[in-house]
Amino acid sequence: MEQLLLFVLLGLGPGALIAGIALGLVLTYRGSGAINVSAGAMAMFGAYFYYGLREGHLLLPLLYPDIGGPLPLPVAFVVAVAATGALGLLIDFAVFRPLRRQSPLAKLVAGVGVLMTIQAVIVLRFGGQGQSASDVLDTTALHVLGGTVPVNRLELVGIVLLAAVLLAAVYRRSRFGLATRAAQENEAEALLTGLSPQKLSMANSFLAATVCGALGILVAPMTQLDPNTLTIAVVPALGAALIARFTSFPIAALAGIGMGVLRAVTTYCQTQPWFPTADGTAVVGLTDVVYFLVIVAALIWRGKSLPVRGAYVEPRLPPAPAPKRVVRPAVVLTGLCVLALLTFPYDMRQALTNTMIGAIACLSLVVLTGFVGQMSLAQYAFAGVAGLTVSKLAINAGIGFPFGPVLGVLAATALGVLIGIPALRVRGVQLAVLTMAAAVAVQAFGFNNPSWGAGGNGSPVAAPTLFGVNLGPTGSFPINDADQPSPLFGFVCLILLLAVVSLVVGVRRSSLGKRMLAVRSNERAAAAVGISTRTVKLTAFALSAFIVGIAGVLYAYNFGSVDPSRFDIVNTFALIAFAYIGGITTVKGALIAGFMVTEGIASHILDSYLGLPTNYQLLIAGVLLVVTLIMNGSGIALQPPPKFTFVRRLLRRSDDDAPATATTAAAMSMAKVGGK
């Protein structure tokens, strides 16, 4: 019992961080209506900035100038907190302000872009490995309960609670607080009162960033200073903020500390003999499962009562036109791919294969986000489950091709439906939050488990063979198979890509597609005309997980093993970025996105031939994601084509001559529906 209490005391450190991020989330939400998933990344930025100053350097994007020796602790702390505050201002000005009339989901996805950008800046400077952050607070040991606890844990809790109480008082008493509450309730009325919601939003973003930055600096020595740990602490913080209805500061802080204590208690339980084990060691990642469950519960309990921002414009959605001409481009592209697979050198062949698999993964987002307006941050979790199922079935049950992959895809679909079920109660942004927690939980509890996951060195995947022919990347092929991957595997990917494209095009053109768009544009109105929004959303989730499951199986065969890091949530962030940049509402957009995915064709050319490493590409992708969202999220695919009039006329001629068939007319009318 005493030992448990000791664990709890130690857990107060991470708890304070979660609480601080939760305070930041509440502030940003009240100030600008955005659920800022990059709040954890801001804490991480603050911690790294402080680290840089203490090393005698100034941390800037792509630069790390010497400042002539380390700054003393208090100065470094103040400067680093101010720098994080400045970052908050910048993000408010450059990201959330231009997006203020967009849907809450667009704001959330923009947060993903910001997160990616910050993370890329840090990784480019410090790499993915952790640094040892130096202590900021007093580390004197207190002797309590027969053990020792550094006094800083208690100080931290004091600081966070004080911040929460101060913020609550400011919001209750000060004119700034009243004004923020007024602007949150109704922006137009606030304007008529002479208030400036944009300035209020900036002030709140600044406060949020300073709180996150300060806590990041203070807590980094107790957790770990790496690009991921602090960033992902936003997940439990989201849970805490939800419990506080994105409104109450004291509740957010207490719930955040509670989340930290929850982690400590789980860690304590892991030391107990009764704790479930796998392969002789205690099961890992249960905390993240608990966080997920807390978030589900909080959403069901609080979701309906989250304050909505009274903006005075209906957000516009990017159009999702039905594809008109399909057969010709498909034939041309297929021909080009076949030619490329038969002639490209091995590295470009691999890149093309990656592009095709990436395009399949992006198509899963077209269905879910482009057509139905829901967002899943768990796409690679679904993919990983599919891949892992293939691997485990082969190893443990001897089930190989083709039953393994089929079962794998079905497993991904089942998980998709499972996570989609809460979607029946929660919507839009809240659902995105839920899938984010799910992704982290699946990763920590599933993939990282050495027994049923792929912990350690990954779980091997045998090559798929059919009638003795190796269809995988290691197979042989009469032409161009001097090095892996075999063109044959490329053909397998191509066939599946074509199948998925047909599926998505078919869905968009079917009545289901129309219903999906109706749900996207207005759920209530859709329900009012008799559309079962539940069925539509659940179908979309199932379909999306099914498609990304196919991508997962292909990834597994592609790499010959399932490695947890391949199915990390960070990869889902990148996937979302590429899908948006390409154009998340159209099949064409997904294909463009496929070219850009990490290690895809464009990425490979940039990396190997033009000297732009993937980490820079991710930095650019993060920025471009934000830019795309600001331009109403239509992506490259829906941009007006460049005016090479002559060339286009040449290409178009045959189509213009063709008589308009019934199907094209139908497609056109649907395009109008989609365009609305």
Partner 1 sequence: MTAQPLLQVDALAAGYFGMPVVRGLSLTVGAGEVVALLGPNGAGKSTTLRAISRLQPAMAGTIRFRDEDITSLKPQAVARKGLVHMSDRRGIFHGLSVEEHFRLGDGGKSLDLGTAFAYFPALEPLRHRRAGLLSGGEQQMLGLARALARRPSVLIVDELSLGLAPVIVEQLLPVVRRYATDSQAGVLLVEQHIHLALEIGDRGLVLSHGDLVLEESAEAMRADRQLIMSSYLGEGPQSGKRSAAAG
Min separation Cβ 346 and partner 1, Å: 54
Query: With respect to partner 1, which residue has the nearer C-beta, 184 or 533?
Result: 184
Min separation Cβ 182 and partner 1, Å: 5
Rule CB under 8 A: say whether 675 interacts with partner 1.
Answer: no
Reported as type and span, the H/E element at residue 281 is strand 281-282
Rule CB under 8 A: say whether 316 interacts with partner 1.
Answer: no
- Stretch touching partner 1 by CB under 8 A, among 181-189, 204-212, 238-246, 372-380: 181-189
- Stretch touching partner 1 by CB under 8 A, among 176-184, 535-543, 612-620, 652-660: 176-184
Query: With respect to partner 1, which residue has the nearer C-beta, 188 or 495?
Result: 188
* Binding residues among 139-168 for partner 1 as defined by CB under 8 A: none
* Residues in binding contact with partner 1, number by CB under 8 A: 18
Query: With respect to partner 1, which residue has the nearer C-beta, 192 or 610?
Result: 192
Binding mask 185-204 for partner 1 (x = CB under 8 A): xx-xxxxxxxxx--------
Query: With respect to partner 1, which residue has the nearer C-beta, 193 or 639?
Result: 193
Query: With respect to partner 1, which residue has the nearer C-beta, 181 or 514?
Result: 181
Min separation Cβ 142 and partner 1, Å: 43
Min separation Cβ 309 and partner 1, Å: 12
Min separation Cβ 307 and partner 1, Å: 8
Query: With respect to partner 1, which residue has the nearer C-beta, 31 or 384?
Result: 31
Report the C-alpha gap between 358 and 575 in whole angstroms: 8
- Stretch touching partner 1 by CB under 8 A, among 14-22, 129-137, 177-185, 659-667: 177-185
Query: With respect to partner 1, which residue has the nearer C-beta, 182 or 417?
Result: 182
DSSP 94-143: IIITTTTTS-HHHHHHHHHHHHHHHHHHHHHHH-SS-B-PPP-S--PEEE
Report the C-alpha gap between 10 and 5 in whole angstroms: 9
Taking CB under 8 A as the criterion, the residue among 182, 414, 512, 531 binding partner 1 is 182
Query: With respect to partner 1, which residue has the nearer C-beta, 186 or 522?
Result: 186
Rule CB under 8 A: say whether 175 interacts with partner 1.
Answer: yes
- Stretch touching partner 1 by CB under 8 A, among 89-97, 175-183, 391-399, 409-417: 175-183
- Structure-block tokens of residue 239: 């849970």
Rule CB under 8 A: say whether 314 interacts with partner 1.
Answer: no
Contact 232, 440 (CB under 8 A): yes
Closest CA to 451 of 289, 285, 279, 286: 279
Question: In sequence order, what are the residues at sequence separation of 6 or more whose Cβ sits closer than 8 angstroms to the Cβ of residue 525?
Answer: 518
Report the C-alpha gap between 584 and 581 in whole angstroms: 7
Min separation Cβ 192 and partner 1, Å: 5
Min separation Cβ 127 and partner 1, Å: 46
Neighbouring-strand partners of residue 142:
149
Min separation Cβ 454 and partner 1, Å: 49
- Stretch touching partner 1 by CB under 8 A, among 184-192, 319-327, 353-361, 648-656: 184-192
- Structure-block tokens of residue 2: 């005493």
Rule CB under 8 A: say whether 179 interacts with partner 1.
Answer: yes
Query: With respect to partner 1, which residue has the nearer C-beta, 203 or 505?
Result: 203
Query: With respect to partner 1, which residue has the nearer C-beta, 297 or 313?
Result: 313
Min separation Cβ 302 and partner 1, Å: 17
Query: With respect to partner 1, which residue has the nearer C-beta, 147 or 310?
Result: 310
**Start-end of H helices in 442-486:** none
Question: Is the bond into 641 cis (omega within 30 degrees of 0)?
Answer: no
3-state helix, strand, coil in the chain (%, to 5): 70, 5, 25
Sign of CA dihedral 467, 472, 473, 474: negative
Secondary structure string (H, E, C) spanning 139-178: CCEEEECCEEEECHHHHHHHHHHHHHHHHHHHHHHCHHHH
Rule CB under 8 A: say whether 521 interacts with partner 1.
Answer: no
Query: With respect to partner 1, which residue has the nearer C-beta, 267 or 522?
Result: 522
Sign of CA dihedral 369, 227, 27, 96: negative
Question: In sequence order, what are the residues at sequence separation of 6 or more whose Cβ sits closer than 8 angstroms to the Cβ of residue 118?
Answer: 38, 41, 42, 44, 45, 87, 231, 622
Secondary structure string (H, E, C) spanning 15-63: HHHHHHHHHHHHHHHHHHCCCCCCHHHHHHHHHHHHHHHHCCECCECCE
Query: With respect to partner 1, which residue has the nearer C-beta, 138 or 189?
Result: 189
Contact 435, 378 (CB under 8 A): yes
Contact 343, 607 (CB under 8 A): no
Min separation Cβ 200 and partner 1, Å: 11
Min separation Cβ 197 and partner 1, Å: 8
Taking CB under 8 A as the criterion, the residue among 178, 265, 605, 673 binding partner 1 is 178
**Start-end of H helices in 393-427:** 403-420
Rule CB under 8 A: say whether 108 interacts with partner 1.
Answer: no
Query: Would you tell me how many other CB atoms lie within 10 Å of the CB of residue 597?
Result: 28
State the virtual CA torsion across 341, 344, 346, 349 in degrees, nearest 10. -40
Question: In sequence order, what are the residues at sequence separation of 6 or more whose Cβ sits closer than 8 angstroms to the Cβ of residue 172?
Answer: none
Min separation Cβ 659 and partner 1, Å: 35
Contact 632, 316 (CB under 8 A): yes
Contact 552, 567 (CB under 8 A): yes
The amino acid at residue 389 is T
Query: With respect to partner 1, which residue has the nearer C-beta, 27 or 37?
Result: 27
Min separation Cβ 36 and partner 1, Å: 22
Q: Which residues lie near partner 1 (CB under 8 A)?
A: 175, 178-179, 181-182, 184-186, 188-196, 312
